[in-house]
């Protein structure tokens, strides 16, 4: 058994967590948990030192997306490139072209949809494995290496796949309770309401509740993964239960860290939408520029995903024992 693989071995502080101001140093002392905002910052700093990790995630994402995007390009090329309707579709899709395409290529689009569903499933499974590698690297605190990455997959892949299956059951239950059954109840409740605004608020309150609970579930499984890696435990069910207990006992900091980073994601998306609204890609240069902006945005989302893991892992390290 190699040294790093001892059960219950608590790993050293990752290098990127070195605080930059005196204030933070004061708060960063082991045993004195830092406030959530400091953890969020620390997550960003950690993600900055792991840009290659974000690059890897982005590349995997791009390759999977290309599998469906390339046939789509051929479809559009076939129907647009020789037709004058193409020029008329640069700013908005020409309604006749779009509708005609949907109608004449229905079976192609249906099989593209089906392909997309399979690819998404495969991507999710793969992602479960990839996060094992990612968390292994973050737990080790060292720079990215493929060796360590694959070591993580080998070491924690099994429990991570089990966690994935458990999480699917959990999401199913959440949907069943807070989407399906709740909506049936609301339908019955609001059936005779005259007020459209009232019914609207009711359904949106339900949607927000559903989103909050879904995100909470996501967060619990993040901590379950972190526990599997840090505690080097193969027991997925047990770690899920412990993660749930951890979140329940540290509800405020876990939520603040999670939603703090979520807010960063929302700001990022708004920034992208603002950029996107600035220009319509009506020339080759602008199409390329648009593509670069989109890929930069995707990369930033991957970077943010790493920041989530870093911040949550540090939170767990500070309070999880």
Partner 1 sequence: MTARMFFISVALAWLWMGNPVHTFGGQRPTLMPLEHPKIITRYRIEVTLDPHTKQLKGRERLVWLNDSDDIVRELQFHLYLNAFKNVDTTYMSEARQNGRGFGRGINAFDFEHWGYIDVESMRIADGEDLTDRMEFIQPDDGNPYDQTVMRVTLPEPVPPHGEIALDIAFTAQLPRVFARTGFHKDFFLVAQWFPKIGVYEEAGERGRAQSGWNCHQFHANSEFYADYGIYDVFITVPSNYIVGATGGLPRQKRDNGDGTTTVEFYQEDVHDFAWTASPRFIRVQRHFVAKDQVSDEDIAEMMRVLGLPRDQIELGDVTVILLIQPEHEDQIDRYFRAIFTAIKYFGLWYGRYPYRTLTVVDPPRGARGAGGMEYPTFITAGTNWWAPKRILSPEGVTIHEFGHQYWYGLVANNEFEEAWLDEGFNSYSTGRILEKVYGPNHYYEWFWGVPIPGRRWLEIRLPRFPFVGWGPVPLGSYLQYIPFLDWQRRWSRYIANARLDPLRRAAWEYLNADSYRTNSYDKPTLLLRTLENYLGEALMARVMRTYHRRYRFRHPTTQDFIDTVNDVTGLDLDWYFDQVLSTANTLDYAVTEVSSEPVPAEQGVYDRNGRRVVLEPNNQPEGERLYRSRITVRRLGTVAFPVRVDILFEDGERIREHWDGRDRWRTFTYTKPTRVVSAEVFSGTLNPGAANYPILLDVDFANNSRRREPDRLPALRWSSKFLFWVQNLLHQLSMFG
Residues 197-256 that bind partner 1 (CB under 8 A): 197, 199-200, 203-204, 207, 218
Are 164 and 125 in contact by the 8 Å Cβ rule? The answer is: yes
Report in angstroms how near the CB of residue 4 gets to partner 1 at its nearest: 26
Residues 6+ apart with CB under 8 A from 151: 133, 136
Looking at residue 41, the DSSP 8-state letter turns out to be H
* DSSP-derived 3-state class of residue 150: helix
Residue from 55, 109, 213, 255 touching partner 1 (CB under 8 A): that is: 109
Number of residues that make up the chain: 321
What's the rounded Cα separation, in Å, for the pair 202 and 288?
43
Report in angstroms how near the CB of residue 10 gets to partner 1 at its nearest: 27
- Main-chain dihedrals φ then ψ at residue 90, nearest 5 degrees: -70, -45
What's the rounded Cα separation, in Å, for the pair 292 and 184?
44
Residue from 38, 40, 45, 101 touching partner 1 (CB under 8 A): that is: 101
Report in angstroms how near the CB of residue 302 gets to partner 1 at its nearest: 8
* DSSP-derived 3-state class of residue 294: helix
Residue from 39, 138, 236, 302 touching partner 1 (CB under 8 A): that is: 302
Report in angstroms how near the CB of residue 21 gets to partner 1 at its nearest: 32
Nearer to partner 1, 38 or 153 (CB): 153
Q: Can residue 118 be called a binding residue for partner 1 (CB under 8 A)?
A: no
Give the binding range for partner 1 (CB under 8 A) out of 6-14, 39-47, 147-155, 289-297: 289-297
3-state secondary structure 43-54: HHHHHHHCHHHH
Within 159-188, which residues bind partner 1 (CB under 8 A)? 164, 167-168, 171-172, 175-176, 179-180
Question: The tokens of 68 are what?
Answer: 């469906």
Within 16-75, which residues bind partner 1 (CB under 8 A)? 61-62, 64-66, 68-69, 72-73
């Amino acid at each position: 058994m190699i040294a790093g693989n001892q059960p219950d071995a608590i790993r050293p502080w990752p290098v990127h967590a070195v605080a930059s101001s005196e204030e933070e140093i004061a708060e960063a002392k082991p045993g004195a948990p830092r406030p959530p905002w400091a953890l969020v910052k620390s997550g960003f700093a950690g993600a900055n030192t792991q840009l290659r990790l974000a690059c890897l995630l982005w590349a995997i994402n791009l390759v999977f997306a290309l599998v469906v995007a390339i046939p789509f390009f051929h479809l559009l090329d076939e129907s647009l490139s020789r037709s004058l309707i193409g020029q008329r579709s640069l700013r908005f899709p020409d309604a006749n072209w779009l509708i005609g395409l949907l109608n004449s290529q229905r079976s192609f689009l249906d099989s593209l949809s089906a392909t997309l569903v399979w690819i998404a499933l495969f991507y999710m499974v793969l992602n479960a494995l990839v996060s094992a590698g990612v968390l292994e690297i973050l737990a080790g605190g060292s720079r990215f290496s493929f060796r360590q990455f694959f070591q993580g997959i080998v070491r924690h892949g099994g429990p991570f796949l089990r966690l994935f299956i458990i999480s699917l059951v959990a999401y199913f239950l959440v949907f069943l309770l807070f989407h399906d059954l709740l909506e049936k109840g609301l339908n019955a409740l609001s059936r005779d309401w005259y007020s459209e605004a009232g019914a609207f608020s009711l359904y949106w309150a339900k949607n927000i509740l559903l989103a909050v609970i879904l995100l909470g579930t996501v967060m619990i499984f993040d901590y379950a993964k972190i526990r599997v890696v840090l505690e080097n435990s193969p027991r997925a069910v047990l770690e899920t239960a412990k993660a749930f207990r951890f979140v329940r006992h540290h509800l405020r900091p876990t939520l603040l860290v999670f939603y703090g980073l979520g807010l960063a994601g929302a700001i990022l998306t708004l920034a992208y939408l603002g950029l996107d609204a600035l220009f319509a890609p009506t020339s080759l240069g602008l199409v390329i520029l648009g593509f670069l902006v989109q890929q930069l945005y995707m990369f930033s989302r991957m970077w943010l995903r790493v920041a989530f893991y870093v911040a949550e892992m540090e939170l767990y390290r500070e309070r999880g024992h």
